[in-house]
Amino acid sequence: MKARVHVTLKPGVLDPQGKAIAHALQALGFDGVNEARQGKVIELDLADDVAGDPEAVRARVDDMCRKLLANTVIETYRIDLDA
């Protein structure tokens, strides 16, 4: 089973990397980009013995997010499970 975790900065948190992207796009002639923000995606390949009940898997991945993958002070995360 695959789990995909999207980690993005909370609204209002300064995102210099996103600002750099927006500037670079403008410099390349792409007008009309109001804002760019950059986040992370982490794709986890979970062993079959772990992947049983989707709710249990989600709870486990949520635990991983809170303990390692996301900094919940400044970031939010979203978990997508693929069968």
- What are the residues binding a copy of itself (CB under 8 A)? 6, 8, 18, 21, 24-25, 28, 30-47, 49-50, 60, 63-64, 67-69
- Give backbone dihedrals phi and psi of 75, rounded to 5 degrees, phi first: -125, 150
Q: Which is nearer to a copy of itself, 36 or 81 (CB)?
A: 36
How many residues are recorded in the chain?
83
Structure tokens at 3: 């789990």
Residue owning tokens 């898997």: 57
Beta carbon of residue 31, minimum distance to a copy of itself (angstroms, whole number): 7
CB of 73 to a copy of itself, least distance (A): 19
Residues 6+ apart with CB under 8 A from 29: none
Q: How far is the CB of 7 from a copy of itself (least distance, A)?
A: 8
